[in-house]
Each structure stands twice: as C-alpha cells, then as structure tokens.
A and B are shown apart, each in its own frame.
Chain A
Amino acid sequence: MVAATAREDRLNRACVRHHGNAVLVFAVGGGQVSGIFDAAYADPLGMENTRPRLLCAAADVPSGAVGQTASIGAEAFTVRAIEPDGTGMAALILERV
C-alpha cells in the first residue's frame, strides 16, 4: 500500500512537473504551489463567467489555504475551496479578487 501511494505521488508530481503552467504564490507567508491552471468558460445563472482553478498535488497545499489571497503572475485570487480527487491531486477553487 505504501509503495502504491509512493508511486501515485511520483506520478502526480511528474504530471505537475510536465504539464504545470502556473505557480500560485500566497500573499501571507509566501508559500508556493505549482500546478495546472485553467479557467474554463461557464455561464452560471445565465451570466458569462469562468471557473478558475489550480490542479496540484494535494500534499503541496499549505494548511489554512482556504480564504487566503494568492496570485498567479499579476492576477490575484482568493482560494475558496480545496477539492481533493482521492488520488493525491487536489483542485484549488479560485475566485478573482
């Protein structure tokens, strides 16, 4: 089981290393999380919008991340939720500041 978890972790980190396109930098403490950022189009309740999120290794998410302000490049976001996928990855749900 431990070996399987370690393999999963290596695979997740390789995925982030090869496909990662963003680094989320937290305003307080300066912690960083690398991951795959996307902001797909959505029109909740009939209004044009996007759903920005960062897919990253769950182990890289600092404790107390929810509610923190963080930036990707010049764009600032608030981390609104963490959605672990059960395989060692997690999606940070972001809201533009």
Chain B
Amino acid sequence: MADHLHKQIRAALVVRLTGLTTSGARVYANRLYPMDSASLPGLRLYADSESAEVVTVHGPAVLERALDIAVEACAQASSALDDTLDLMSKEVETALAGGITVAGRNLMPTYTGMSYQDEAADKPVGVKRMTFSLTFAAAANAPDTLL
C-alpha cells in the first residue's frame, strides 16, 4: 500500500526544492527542532491544513482536497537579511511554478501569499513564510491514490 498522499506530496516538494541556489540541500519537512547554523540558510516545509469537498453522489465518495502548504525560507545574517530571504523566495516560487510530480502526475501548487518575521539575536534571524494551495482528488477510502 502506498503512503498517504500527504506524505507523497511532502516528499515531492522536498525533491522539487532540493538543490536551489541559496538553500541547496538544506530542505526540511515538518521540522520540529530548531535549525542549527549548518542548516542555514534553509527551507522548512509543512502541510498546514486541508479542506475537502465531496464531488460524487455514489460511494465511495470522491473528495476534492485543497491542501495548504507552507514553505519557510529561513536565514541568519548580520546584514541584508531581507534581501537573502527575498532571493530564497524567488527561487522557491520559481521552482514550484513548474509543479511537483506525485505518482507520476504533475500537480500545480498555487501561490497564495506570504508573511515575514525577523528577530534580533547574536546574528539576526528571519523567516519568510510562503503559502501555497494544492488541489487534488482522491477516493475517501483510498487517501493514498491520486485520482
């Protein structure tokens, strides 16, 4: 049995976002613990929430699902922190505009917005959180299979 589509999508996002110029291989899905300096500048990605709607009248129901994905560009720098984060978000948005491959199919995340936070410290840190929506369909009794 295949993994839940959420896991497949997260894995596809990691593949798509690995190797970008600024963040390189420092891409982390659902990271729980703080990033150390070796992990920066890096990307954290999360499947934040999902809404679903039944689109069939017969069972098993087919659900159209809209998954909200967050990609956080994270960096630490004494100067030009915002410039670094803007560059990282340009790389992320450009990469995801090409879609991701899940179960051999191309899915297109749609950019829905961003928020920015920074904080002073030994070296100032900043996060640019980009959000995307990804729509796909799956049967209610087979959340591991893309329709």
Chain A positions near chain B (C-beta within 8 angstroms): 39, 42-52, 78, 80-81, 93-97
With A95-B78, A96-B78 as contacts: A45 and B122 at CB distance below 8 Å: no
Total inter-chain residue pairs, C-beta < 8 Å: 55
Chain B positions near chain A (C-beta within 8 angstroms): 31, 34-37, 40, 44, 74, 76, 78, 117-127
Q: How far is the CB of A74 from chain B (nearest CB, A)?
A: 16
Instruction: Name the CB-closest residue of A to B117.
Output: A45
Q: What does DSSP make chain A's interface, helix, strand, loop or mixed?
A: strand
Q: How far is the CB of A75 from chain B (nearest CB, A)?
A: 10
Beyond contacts A46-B35, A49-B121, A96-B78: 20 other A-B pairs, Cβ-Cβ < 8 A, are: A42-B121, A45-B119, A45-B125, A46-B31, A46-B74, A46-B127, A47-B74, A47-B76, A48-B35, A48-B37, A49-B76, A49-B123, A49-B125, A51-B121, A51-B122, A78-B78, A81-B120, A95-B78, A95-B120, A95-B121
